[in-house]
Amino acid sequence: MDEIAAKVLVIGGGPAGYVCAIRAGQLGLETVLVEQAEFGGTCLNVGCIPSKALIHVADAFHAAQGHAGSGAFGLSVGSASLDFAKTIAWKDSIVGRLTGGVKSLLKKSSVRIVEGRATIEDGKTCIVSTSRGDMRIRAEHLVLATGSEPAALSALPFGGSVLSSTDVLTLTAVPQHLVVVGAGYIGLELGTAFAKMGAQVTVVEAAERILPAWDEELTRPVAKRLGSLGVEVRTANFAQGLTDDGSTLTVKHVNGDVSLLAADNILVAVGRKPRTQGFGLERLDLAFDGPFVAIDRRCATSMRHVWAIGDLTGEPMLAHRAMAQGKLVAEVIAGQRREFDHRAIATICFTDPEIVTVGLLPEQAKASNVSVATARFPFAANGRALTQGDELGFIRVVTRADNDLVLGIQAVGAGVSELAAGFALALEMGATVEDIAGTIHAHPTRSEAFQEAALGASGYALHI
Protein backbone atom coordinates (compact mmCIF):
# COMPACT_ATOMS: atom_id res chain seq x y z
CA MET A 1 0.00 0.00 0.00
CA ASP A 2 1.29 3.45 -0.93
CA GLU A 3 1.77 5.78 2.02
CA ILE A 4 2.14 9.55 2.21
CA ALA A 5 2.49 12.00 5.08
CA ALA A 6 1.42 15.61 5.47
CA LYS A 7 0.95 18.34 8.03
CA VAL A 8 -2.78 18.68 7.28
CA LEU A 9 -5.24 16.10 5.97
CA VAL A 10 -8.63 17.43 4.91
CA ILE A 11 -11.47 14.98 4.27
CA GLY A 12 -14.07 16.56 2.01
CA GLY A 13 -13.71 18.93 -0.92
CA GLY A 14 -16.75 21.13 -0.38
CA PRO A 15 -16.65 24.84 0.51
CA ALA A 16 -15.29 24.13 4.01
CA GLY A 17 -12.69 21.59 2.95
CA TYR A 18 -11.31 23.14 -0.22
CA VAL A 19 -11.02 26.61 1.35
CA CYS A 20 -9.23 25.10 4.35
CA ALA A 21 -6.84 23.27 2.05
CA ILE A 22 -6.17 26.31 -0.13
CA ARG A 23 -5.47 28.54 2.86
CA ALA A 24 -3.27 25.89 4.47
CA GLY A 25 -1.30 25.62 1.25
CA GLN A 26 -0.93 29.38 1.07
CA LEU A 27 0.49 29.34 4.60
CA GLY A 28 3.14 26.82 3.59
CA LEU A 29 1.57 23.80 5.29
CA GLU A 30 1.97 20.48 3.48
CA THR A 31 -1.67 19.63 2.79
CA VAL A 32 -3.61 16.69 1.34
CA LEU A 33 -7.26 16.95 0.35
CA VAL A 34 -9.35 13.81 -0.14
CA GLU A 35 -12.64 13.93 -2.07
CA GLN A 36 -14.67 10.96 -3.27
CA ALA A 37 -17.02 12.80 -5.64
CA GLU A 38 -16.89 16.21 -7.29
CA PHE A 39 -14.95 19.12 -5.85
CA GLY A 40 -17.09 21.96 -4.59
CA GLY A 41 -19.37 19.76 -2.50
CA THR A 42 -23.12 20.05 -2.22
CA CYS A 43 -23.20 23.81 -2.76
CA LEU A 44 -21.38 23.86 -6.05
CA ASN A 45 -22.63 20.60 -7.54
CA VAL A 46 -26.16 19.96 -6.29
CA GLY A 47 -27.10 22.94 -4.13
CA CYS A 48 -26.50 26.68 -4.18
CA ILE A 49 -25.12 27.08 -7.69
CA PRO A 50 -27.33 24.80 -9.82
CA SER A 51 -30.46 25.83 -7.92
CA LYS A 52 -29.71 29.52 -8.47
CA ALA A 53 -29.14 28.81 -12.16
CA LEU A 54 -32.61 27.26 -12.36
CA ILE A 55 -34.09 30.15 -10.39
CA HIS A 56 -32.56 32.61 -12.87
CA VAL A 57 -34.02 30.75 -15.84
CA ALA A 58 -37.39 30.51 -14.12
CA ASP A 59 -37.40 34.24 -13.40
CA ALA A 60 -36.47 35.07 -17.00
CA PHE A 61 -39.12 32.74 -18.43
CA HIS A 62 -41.79 34.01 -16.06
CA ALA A 63 -40.94 37.62 -16.90
CA ALA A 64 -41.12 36.87 -20.63
CA GLN A 65 -44.51 35.24 -20.17
CA GLY A 66 -45.66 38.29 -18.25
CA HIS A 67 -44.90 40.46 -21.27
CA ALA A 68 -46.82 38.28 -23.73
CA GLY A 69 -49.56 40.90 -23.67
CA SER A 70 -49.29 44.63 -23.24
CA GLY A 71 -47.96 45.27 -19.73
CA ALA A 72 -48.31 48.23 -17.39
CA PHE A 73 -45.29 49.96 -18.94
CA GLY A 74 -46.09 49.23 -22.56
CA LEU A 75 -43.79 46.29 -23.32
CA SER A 76 -45.25 43.34 -25.19
CA VAL A 77 -43.45 40.33 -26.67
CA GLY A 78 -44.46 37.12 -28.39
CA SER A 79 -45.24 33.88 -26.63
CA ALA A 80 -42.29 32.50 -24.64
CA SER A 81 -41.16 28.87 -24.68
CA LEU A 82 -38.62 26.96 -22.63
CA ASP A 83 -36.25 24.23 -23.82
CA PHE A 84 -35.63 22.58 -20.46
CA ALA A 85 -32.95 20.26 -21.81
CA LYS A 86 -30.91 23.32 -22.81
CA THR A 87 -31.58 24.82 -19.39
CA ILE A 88 -30.10 21.76 -17.70
CA ALA A 89 -27.13 21.71 -20.07
CA TRP A 90 -26.44 25.39 -19.33
CA LYS A 91 -26.73 24.75 -15.59
CA ASP A 92 -24.32 21.82 -15.85
CA SER A 93 -21.82 23.88 -17.83
CA ILE A 94 -21.68 26.47 -15.04
CA VAL A 95 -21.12 23.76 -12.46
CA GLY A 96 -18.37 22.26 -14.62
CA ARG A 97 -16.57 25.60 -14.96
CA LEU A 98 -16.63 26.18 -11.23
CA THR A 99 -15.56 22.68 -10.19
CA GLY A 100 -12.65 22.92 -12.60
CA GLY A 101 -11.78 26.26 -11.04
CA VAL A 102 -11.64 24.71 -7.56
CA LYS A 103 -9.13 22.11 -8.73
CA SER A 104 -6.98 24.80 -10.31
CA LEU A 105 -6.97 26.84 -7.12
CA LEU A 106 -5.97 23.81 -5.06
CA LYS A 107 -3.07 23.04 -7.40
CA LYS A 108 -2.02 26.69 -7.37
CA SER A 109 -1.72 26.48 -3.58
CA SER A 110 0.35 23.26 -3.82
CA VAL A 111 -2.37 21.11 -2.27
CA ARG A 112 -2.05 17.42 -3.04
CA ILE A 113 -5.39 16.11 -4.31
CA VAL A 114 -6.36 12.48 -3.70
CA GLU A 115 -9.58 11.39 -5.38
CA GLY A 116 -11.16 8.47 -3.61
CA ARG A 117 -13.13 7.31 -0.59
CA ALA A 118 -11.50 7.99 2.77
CA THR A 119 -11.88 5.70 5.77
CA ILE A 120 -10.57 6.97 9.08
CA GLU A 121 -8.30 4.64 11.05
CA ASP A 122 -7.51 7.05 13.89
CA GLY A 123 -7.06 10.76 14.57
CA LYS A 124 -3.98 10.95 12.38
CA THR A 125 -4.50 8.29 9.71
CA CYS A 126 -6.93 7.35 6.99
CA ILE A 127 -7.04 4.83 4.17
CA VAL A 128 -8.21 6.12 0.79
CA SER A 129 -9.61 3.75 -1.82
CA THR A 130 -8.65 5.17 -5.20
CA SER A 131 -8.92 3.93 -8.77
CA ARG A 132 -5.28 2.83 -8.52
CA GLY A 133 -5.64 1.00 -5.21
CA ASP A 134 -5.55 1.85 -1.54
CA MET A 135 -3.39 4.60 -0.06
CA ARG A 136 -2.56 5.33 3.57
CA ILE A 137 -2.31 9.00 4.55
CA ARG A 138 -0.81 10.13 7.85
CA ALA A 139 -1.05 13.69 9.07
CA GLU A 140 -0.43 15.74 12.17
CA HIS A 141 -3.80 17.49 11.83
CA LEU A 142 -7.06 15.93 10.63
CA VAL A 143 -9.77 18.25 9.35
CA LEU A 144 -13.27 16.80 8.96
CA ALA A 145 -15.32 18.53 6.26
CA THR A 146 -17.74 15.84 5.12
CA GLY A 147 -20.77 18.11 4.74
CA SER A 148 -24.41 17.12 4.82
CA GLU A 149 -27.06 15.28 2.82
CA PRO A 150 -30.82 15.60 2.30
CA ALA A 151 -32.92 14.35 5.20
CA ALA A 152 -35.51 11.72 4.26
CA LEU A 153 -38.94 10.90 5.63
CA SER A 154 -39.61 7.31 6.66
CA ALA A 155 -43.03 7.55 5.02
CA LEU A 156 -41.51 8.84 1.76
CA PRO A 157 -38.12 7.23 1.08
CA PHE A 158 -36.25 8.65 -1.89
CA GLY A 159 -36.69 6.75 -5.13
CA GLY A 160 -38.99 6.66 -8.14
CA SER A 161 -41.20 9.73 -8.16
CA VAL A 162 -40.01 10.79 -4.69
CA LEU A 163 -37.08 13.16 -5.14
CA SER A 164 -34.50 14.77 -2.91
CA SER A 165 -33.26 18.29 -3.54
CA THR A 166 -30.34 16.64 -5.36
CA ASP A 167 -32.59 14.51 -7.55
CA VAL A 168 -34.87 17.35 -8.60
CA LEU A 169 -31.94 19.19 -10.17
CA THR A 170 -31.47 16.29 -12.60
CA LEU A 171 -35.01 16.22 -14.01
CA THR A 172 -35.10 16.20 -17.80
CA ALA A 173 -38.50 17.87 -18.04
CA VAL A 174 -40.64 20.23 -16.01
CA PRO A 175 -43.28 18.08 -14.24
CA GLN A 176 -46.90 18.96 -14.84
CA HIS A 177 -47.68 18.64 -11.14
CA LEU A 178 -45.00 18.87 -8.47
CA VAL A 179 -45.77 18.36 -4.79
CA VAL A 180 -43.20 19.85 -2.42
CA VAL A 181 -43.11 18.39 1.08
CA GLY A 182 -41.57 21.01 3.33
CA ALA A 183 -42.00 24.79 3.14
CA GLY A 184 -38.50 25.66 4.29
CA TYR A 185 -36.08 27.61 2.13
CA ILE A 186 -35.06 24.66 -0.05
CA GLY A 187 -38.62 23.58 -0.80
CA LEU A 188 -39.86 27.09 -1.53
CA GLU A 189 -36.86 28.12 -3.63
CA LEU A 190 -37.20 25.09 -5.89
CA GLY A 191 -40.98 24.99 -5.77
CA THR A 192 -41.22 28.64 -6.83
CA ALA A 193 -38.77 28.06 -9.67
CA PHE A 194 -40.75 25.13 -11.08
CA ALA A 195 -44.01 27.05 -10.70
CA LYS A 196 -42.54 29.85 -12.81
CA MET A 197 -41.44 27.29 -15.40
CA GLY A 198 -44.99 26.01 -15.78
CA ALA A 199 -45.48 23.29 -13.17
CA GLN A 200 -48.58 23.15 -11.02
CA VAL A 201 -47.03 23.22 -7.54
CA THR A 202 -48.56 22.22 -4.23
CA VAL A 203 -46.61 22.76 -1.01
CA VAL A 204 -47.30 20.60 2.04
CA GLU A 205 -45.98 21.88 5.37
CA ALA A 206 -46.47 20.39 8.84
CA ALA A 207 -46.11 23.75 10.60
CA GLU A 208 -48.79 26.42 10.76
CA ARG A 209 -47.07 28.66 8.21
CA ILE A 210 -44.41 28.66 5.51
CA LEU A 211 -40.74 29.20 6.40
CA PRO A 212 -41.45 28.37 10.06
CA ALA A 213 -37.83 28.96 11.06
CA TRP A 214 -37.96 32.53 9.75
CA ASP A 215 -39.46 35.69 11.25
CA GLU A 216 -43.15 35.71 10.33
CA GLU A 217 -43.20 39.36 9.22
CA LEU A 218 -40.46 38.58 6.70
CA THR A 219 -42.35 35.60 5.26
CA ARG A 220 -45.65 37.38 4.53
CA PRO A 221 -44.49 38.90 1.20
CA VAL A 222 -43.30 35.44 0.14
CA ALA A 223 -46.69 33.93 0.95
CA LYS A 224 -48.38 36.69 -1.03
CA ARG A 225 -46.17 36.04 -4.08
CA LEU A 226 -46.77 32.29 -3.90
CA GLY A 227 -50.49 33.00 -4.13
CA SER A 228 -50.03 35.20 -7.19
CA LEU A 229 -48.01 32.42 -8.85
CA GLY A 230 -50.83 29.94 -8.28
CA VAL A 231 -48.89 27.81 -5.81
CA GLU A 232 -51.21 25.97 -3.46
CA VAL A 233 -49.90 25.96 0.10
CA ARG A 234 -51.26 23.45 2.61
CA THR A 235 -49.97 24.19 6.10
CA ALA A 236 -50.63 22.06 9.19
CA ASN A 237 -50.55 19.02 6.89
CA PHE A 238 -48.45 15.89 7.21
CA ALA A 239 -47.28 13.66 4.37
CA GLN A 240 -48.44 10.12 5.13
CA GLY A 241 -47.00 8.22 2.17
CA LEU A 242 -47.90 7.13 -1.35
CA THR A 243 -50.88 5.15 -2.50
CA ASP A 244 -50.21 1.63 -3.76
CA ASP A 245 -49.73 2.71 -7.37
CA GLY A 246 -47.20 5.36 -6.31
CA SER A 247 -48.95 8.19 -8.16
CA THR A 248 -50.70 9.91 -5.28
CA LEU A 249 -49.58 11.35 -1.97
CA THR A 250 -51.75 10.90 1.11
CA VAL A 251 -51.84 14.00 3.28
CA LYS A 252 -53.35 14.34 6.75
CA HIS A 253 -54.38 17.69 8.21
CA VAL A 254 -53.75 18.37 11.90
CA ASN A 255 -57.53 18.21 12.44
CA GLY A 256 -57.59 14.63 11.14
CA ASP A 257 -58.89 15.25 7.62
CA VAL A 258 -57.19 13.13 4.95
CA SER A 259 -56.75 14.17 1.31
CA LEU A 260 -55.01 12.84 -1.78
CA LEU A 261 -52.60 14.75 -4.02
CA ALA A 262 -51.80 13.34 -7.45
CA ALA A 263 -48.31 14.28 -8.64
CA ASP A 264 -45.77 13.49 -11.32
CA ASN A 265 -42.99 14.07 -8.79
CA ILE A 266 -42.78 14.66 -5.06
CA LEU A 267 -39.90 16.74 -3.76
CA VAL A 268 -39.10 15.97 -0.13
CA ALA A 269 -37.34 19.03 1.28
CA VAL A 270 -37.52 18.68 5.05
CA GLY A 271 -33.96 19.73 5.79
CA ARG A 272 -30.46 18.32 5.74
CA LYS A 273 -28.48 16.13 8.12
CA PRO A 274 -24.72 15.97 8.75
CA ARG A 275 -22.82 13.27 6.87
CA THR A 276 -21.40 11.20 9.71
CA GLN A 277 -21.68 7.64 8.37
CA GLY A 278 -19.57 5.55 6.03
CA PHE A 279 -16.06 6.92 6.58
CA GLY A 280 -15.05 5.65 10.03
CA LEU A 281 -15.99 8.65 12.14
CA GLU A 282 -17.06 6.28 14.88
CA ARG A 283 -13.40 5.33 15.38
CA LEU A 284 -12.73 8.78 16.79
CA ASP A 285 -13.56 9.70 20.39
CA LEU A 286 -15.52 12.84 19.53
CA ALA A 287 -18.10 14.75 21.52
CA PHE A 288 -21.37 15.46 19.72
CA ASP A 289 -23.93 18.21 19.95
CA GLY A 290 -27.05 16.32 18.94
CA PRO A 291 -26.33 14.89 15.46
CA PHE A 292 -23.45 17.32 14.90
CA VAL A 293 -19.78 17.12 15.82
CA ALA A 294 -19.21 19.47 18.76
CA ILE A 295 -16.57 22.17 18.29
CA ASP A 296 -15.25 25.16 20.19
CA ARG A 297 -14.71 28.72 18.91
CA ARG A 298 -11.60 27.56 16.99
CA CYS A 299 -13.49 24.65 15.36
CA ALA A 300 -11.48 22.22 17.47
CA THR A 301 -13.18 18.94 18.41
CA SER A 302 -12.79 17.06 21.68
CA MET A 303 -9.71 15.29 20.23
CA ARG A 304 -6.37 17.05 20.00
CA HIS A 305 -5.48 18.12 16.44
CA VAL A 306 -8.81 16.93 15.06
CA TRP A 307 -10.91 19.76 13.62
CA ALA A 308 -14.42 19.90 12.17
CA ILE A 309 -15.89 22.51 9.84
CA GLY A 310 -18.95 23.15 7.70
CA ASP A 311 -22.33 21.40 7.83
CA LEU A 312 -20.90 18.61 9.97
CA THR A 313 -20.78 21.11 12.86
CA GLY A 314 -24.39 22.32 12.83
CA GLU A 315 -26.55 25.24 11.92
CA PRO A 316 -26.57 27.43 10.05
CA MET A 317 -25.65 25.08 7.20
CA LEU A 318 -24.32 27.78 4.90
CA ALA A 319 -21.49 27.65 2.39
CA HIS A 320 -20.10 31.03 3.47
CA ARG A 321 -20.04 29.91 7.11
CA ALA A 322 -18.24 26.75 6.01
CA MET A 323 -15.65 28.71 4.02
CA ALA A 324 -15.02 31.08 6.92
CA GLN A 325 -14.48 28.10 9.23
CA GLY A 326 -12.14 26.48 6.73
CA LYS A 327 -9.97 29.60 6.49
CA LEU A 328 -9.93 29.96 10.27
CA VAL A 329 -8.82 26.37 10.93
CA ALA A 330 -5.94 26.61 8.47
CA GLU A 331 -4.74 29.77 10.17
CA VAL A 332 -5.08 28.25 13.65
CA ILE A 333 -3.04 25.22 12.56
CA ALA A 334 -0.42 27.64 11.21
CA GLY A 335 -0.13 29.20 14.67
CA GLN A 336 -2.31 32.25 14.29
CA ARG A 337 -4.72 33.37 17.02
CA ARG A 338 -8.24 33.07 15.61
CA GLU A 339 -11.75 32.52 16.96
CA PHE A 340 -14.97 32.12 15.01
CA ASP A 341 -17.62 34.82 15.48
CA HIS A 342 -21.00 33.90 14.04
CA ARG A 343 -22.84 37.13 14.87
CA ALA A 344 -22.45 38.75 11.45
CA ILE A 345 -23.28 35.76 9.24
CA ALA A 346 -26.01 36.59 6.75
CA THR A 347 -28.71 34.01 6.12
CA ILE A 348 -30.45 34.30 2.75
CA CYS A 349 -33.58 32.68 1.38
CA PHE A 350 -33.64 32.92 -2.43
CA THR A 351 -37.40 32.82 -2.68
CA ASP A 352 -39.50 35.40 -4.52
CA PRO A 353 -39.05 37.88 -2.96
CA GLU A 354 -35.68 37.14 -1.37
CA ILE A 355 -35.15 37.30 2.40
CA VAL A 356 -31.97 38.33 4.23
CA THR A 357 -31.35 38.33 7.95
CA VAL A 358 -28.16 39.27 9.80
CA GLY A 359 -27.74 39.44 13.55
CA LEU A 360 -30.65 39.34 15.97
CA LEU A 361 -34.33 39.31 15.11
CA PRO A 362 -36.53 41.57 17.25
CA GLU A 363 -37.71 38.75 19.52
CA GLN A 364 -34.16 37.44 19.93
CA ALA A 365 -32.92 40.90 20.85
CA LYS A 366 -35.69 41.33 23.42
CA ALA A 367 -34.77 37.99 24.96
CA SER A 368 -31.26 39.30 25.68
CA ASN A 369 -32.70 41.63 28.34
CA VAL A 370 -31.92 44.92 26.64
CA SER A 371 -34.30 47.65 25.58
CA VAL A 372 -34.95 47.15 21.86
CA ALA A 373 -36.19 49.48 19.12
CA THR A 374 -37.08 48.56 15.54
CA ALA A 375 -37.69 50.61 12.42
CA ARG A 376 -38.55 49.57 8.88
CA PHE A 377 -38.82 51.19 5.50
CA PRO A 378 -41.07 49.71 2.78
CA PHE A 379 -39.95 49.29 -0.81
CA ALA A 380 -43.33 50.75 -1.78
CA ALA A 381 -41.74 54.12 -0.92
CA ASN A 382 -38.44 53.40 -2.70
CA GLY A 383 -37.93 54.92 -6.15
CA ARG A 384 -35.76 52.11 -7.51
CA ALA A 385 -38.26 49.45 -6.46
CA LEU A 386 -41.07 51.34 -8.14
CA THR A 387 -39.13 51.75 -11.38
CA GLN A 388 -38.45 48.01 -11.39
CA GLY A 389 -42.14 47.24 -10.97
CA ASP A 390 -41.62 45.24 -7.77
CA GLU A 391 -42.36 47.09 -4.55
CA LEU A 392 -43.05 44.09 -2.31
CA GLY A 393 -41.11 44.01 0.96
CA PHE A 394 -39.08 46.21 3.29
CA ILE A 395 -35.82 46.66 5.21
CA ARG A 396 -35.84 46.57 9.02
CA VAL A 397 -33.20 47.48 11.59
CA VAL A 398 -33.13 46.25 15.19
CA THR A 399 -31.24 48.42 17.67
CA ARG A 400 -30.51 48.89 21.35
CA ALA A 401 -32.72 51.71 22.50
CA ASP A 402 -30.18 53.03 25.02
CA ASN A 403 -27.19 53.50 22.71
CA ASP A 404 -28.53 52.95 19.15
CA LEU A 405 -26.16 50.02 18.52
CA VAL A 406 -27.41 47.94 15.59
CA LEU A 407 -28.22 44.41 16.74
CA GLY A 408 -29.81 43.02 13.60
CA ILE A 409 -30.84 43.87 10.06
CA GLN A 410 -33.49 42.09 8.00
CA ALA A 411 -34.88 42.59 4.52
CA VAL A 412 -37.39 41.03 2.19
CA GLY A 413 -37.68 42.14 -1.41
CA ALA A 414 -36.42 41.69 -4.96
CA GLY A 415 -32.63 41.35 -5.10
CA VAL A 416 -32.02 42.01 -1.40
CA SER A 417 -29.47 39.18 -1.31
CA GLU A 418 -27.02 41.65 -2.88
CA LEU A 419 -27.44 43.92 0.17
CA ALA A 420 -26.39 41.16 2.57
CA ALA A 421 -22.70 42.07 2.61
CA GLY A 422 -23.47 45.66 3.60
CA PHE A 423 -25.72 44.44 6.40
CA ALA A 424 -23.05 42.03 7.65
CA LEU A 425 -20.38 44.73 7.49
CA ALA A 426 -22.51 47.04 9.63
CA LEU A 427 -22.81 44.32 12.29
CA GLU A 428 -19.14 43.37 12.02
CA MET A 429 -18.00 46.97 12.48
CA GLY A 430 -20.34 47.62 15.41
CA ALA A 431 -22.35 50.30 13.62
CA THR A 432 -24.92 52.52 15.26
CA VAL A 433 -27.99 53.83 13.48
CA GLU A 434 -26.20 57.17 13.17
CA ASP A 435 -23.39 55.47 11.23
CA ILE A 436 -25.87 54.04 8.74
CA ALA A 437 -28.09 57.10 8.57
CA GLY A 438 -25.05 59.32 8.05
CA THR A 439 -23.69 57.20 5.20
CA ILE A 440 -24.81 58.67 1.88
CA HIS A 441 -26.54 55.91 -0.07
CA ALA A 442 -26.67 56.24 -3.84
CA HIS A 443 -29.95 57.22 -5.48
CA PRO A 444 -31.92 55.55 -6.95
CA THR A 445 -31.08 52.20 -5.38
CA ARG A 446 -32.83 49.73 -3.13
CA SER A 447 -30.04 50.25 -0.61
CA GLU A 448 -31.57 53.64 0.23
CA ALA A 449 -34.23 51.76 2.16
CA PHE A 450 -31.44 50.70 4.54
CA GLN A 451 -30.51 54.33 5.20
CA GLU A 452 -34.18 55.30 5.50
CA ALA A 453 -34.81 52.54 8.05
CA ALA A 454 -31.85 53.83 10.07
CA LEU A 455 -33.21 57.36 9.82
CA GLY A 456 -36.52 56.05 11.11
CA ALA A 457 -34.74 54.41 14.03
CA SER A 458 -33.16 57.80 14.75
CA GLY A 459 -36.60 59.36 14.88
CA TYR A 460 -36.63 61.41 11.69
CA ALA A 461 -37.49 59.34 8.61
CA LEU A 462 -37.45 61.58 5.53
CA HIS A 463 -39.39 59.73 2.84
CA ILE A 464 -42.26 58.14 4.72
Catalytic positions: 443
Distance CA 51, CA 43 (A): 9
DSSP state of 9: E
Q: How far is CA 91 from CA 55, 354, 371, in A?
A: 11, 21, 48
Best CA proximity match to 180, nearest among 252, 263, 257, 242: 263
Q: Which amino acid is at 378?
A: P
Residues 398, 361: contact at Cβ < 8 Å? yes
The span from the CA of 20 to the CA of 334, in Å, is 11
- Is residue 143 within 8 A of residue 9, CB to CB? The reply is yes
21 closest CA partner among 326, 337, 279, 328: 326
Contact 162, 156 (CB under 8 A): yes
Q: Rounded to whole angstroms, how far apart are CA atoms 100 and 38?
A: 10
Cβ atoms 189, 229 nearer than 8 A: no
Contact criterion met (CB below 8 Å) for 203 and 191: yes
Count of CA atoms in the C-beta half-sphere (13 A) of 127: 9
The backbone torsions φ and ψ at residue 67, rounded to the nearest 5 degrees and listed phi first, read -105, 10
Classify 86 as helix, strand or coil.
helix
| 3-state SS, residue 358 | strand
